[in-house]
Amino acid sequence: MKGICILGSTGSIGVSTLDVVARHPDRYRVVALTANGNIDRLFEQCRDHRPRYAVAIRAEAAAELRERLAVAGLGGIEVLSGSAALEQVASLPEVDSVMAAIVGAAGLLPTLAAARAGKDVLLANKEALVMSGPLFMAEVVRAGARLLPIDSEHNAVFQCMPADYRAGTAAIGARRILLTASGGPFLHTPLAELESVTPEQAVAHPNWVMGRKISVDSATMMNKGLEVIEACLLFNMKPDDVQVVVHRQSVIHSMVDYVDGTVLAQMGTPDMRIPIAHALAWPERFESGAEPLDLFAVHQLNFERPDLARFPCLRLAYEAVRAGGTAPAILNAANEVAVAAFLDRRLAFTGIPRVIEHCMATVASGAADAIESVLQADAETRKVAETYITNCRI
């Protein structure tokens, strides 16, 4: 019986994780659940899964949750508040596995805490890895933690690696990673129309149901850019050896090209419960609740090259990973601010890459040799991005 802590339990990945965990009560015990603002959902999750701890970030939200749990006869669940509590629950001795499913930079310190405590880290929070890169990977090795990718592409690559493969090490004989991308909702939208697309149009992904931030990232293809950086780190690959392949059907979740010409692909229906169940059961397998793949319904598989003129965010991500140091943290922070501004209707969709390009040209990047340097680059970039958005009205 393993203890699990789910960071970001009320989000899209968090909910799918609880769905899979609930199918295997003999294998997993929920120790801790955490949420930012959605107290109604966190209360329901506490009622259904009976964790030992629940974390709500704001003190008032935690007080409200504590009261509702007491009324429901669940006063035994300890309610904590504040972001430091995330690090605390991610490192508890009774926790074996940590699902890192907070969105954005807010997940960095708790995910790092889980790695430092030597847990099995089920990594969905790609921004944390992109920001802290080699520092994070070094902590994983030092603490003997196991990193299991949840992002469907990276989970697919992991499944195409040898059985004893450990994330971060060089894969023997792997020469290229082929990272598949659906292309998002604007793959064929006339370029002139992109300026005026709305948040509602941008979050309507053709194949996957996800949180709002990652949905916008999929529409700009920054999601694939972040995933290229993630792949370089997780699989010890050079940027030039990670190739993006637009594959509209989202049936092949990624591939590994070996030196002998063998290409291994992982396939399945587009349902995040598949990679989640894979990582939870690893190295065994158990049921995820996903529908079996019906190849006759899929009918055909198509592949296209990505169009970097249509998707400048993908180009910027390659530039950041090639530059190294704090450049990926600058890219990530600028993107988070720009996406939030777009969702708030303060920035046009096409302004997102402009903000990122401006920040990458303005904020000096340096060595990412300590977590403080990463956090400083993140904070400075956020200020530069906000000022640019306010002053330029783009």
- Per CB under 6 A, residues contacting ligand NAD are 8-14, 35-36, 38, 57, 101-103, 106, 124-127, 151, 208, 210-211, 213-214, 272
Closest CA to 143 of 98, 85, 80, 204: 98
- Note the residues at the interface with Mg ion (CB under 5 A): 151-153
- Smallest separation, CB 101 to ligand NAD (Å): 5
Contact 303, 245 (CB under 8 A): yes
Does 223 appear as a known binding residue? yes
- Smallest separation, CB 311 to ligand NAD (Å): 17
Omega before 25 within 30 of 0, i.e. cis: no
Does 391 appear as a known binding residue? no
- Smallest separation, CB 172 to ligand NAD (Å): 27
**Count of C-beta atoms within a 10 Å radius of residue 48:** 11
- 300-337 residues labelled b (16+ CB within 10 A) or e (exposed): eeeeeebeeebbbbbbbbbbbbeeebbbbbbbbbbbbb
- Helix (H) or strand (E) run with residue 243 in it: strand 242-246
Name the residue nearer to ligand NAD (CB basis): 56 or 171.
56
Does 344 appear as a known binding residue? no
- 214-243 residues labelled b (16+ CB within 10 A) or e (exposed): bbbbbbbbbbbbbbbbbbbbbbebebeebb
Does 119 appear as a known binding residue? no
- Smallest separation, CB 52 to Mg ion (Å): 31
Name the residue nearer to ligand NAD (CB basis): 336 or 380.
336
Does 10 appear as a known binding residue? yes
Q: Which of the listed partners (Mg ion, ligand NAD, none) does 211 bind, with a CB threshold of 5 to 8 Å by partner kind?
A: ligand NAD
Name the residue nearer to ligand NAD (CB basis): 79 or 102.
102
What's the N-to-C CA distance of the chain in angstroms? Answer: 53
The residue of the chain with the least Cβ separation from Mg ion equals: 151
- Smallest separation, CB 314 to Mg ion (Å): 13
Does 207 appear as a known binding residue? no
Binding residues: 10-13, 38, 125-127, 151-153, 182, 205, 211, 218, 223-224, 227
Binding residues for NADPH: 10-13, 38, 125, 127, 211
Binding residues for Mn(2+): 151, 153, 227
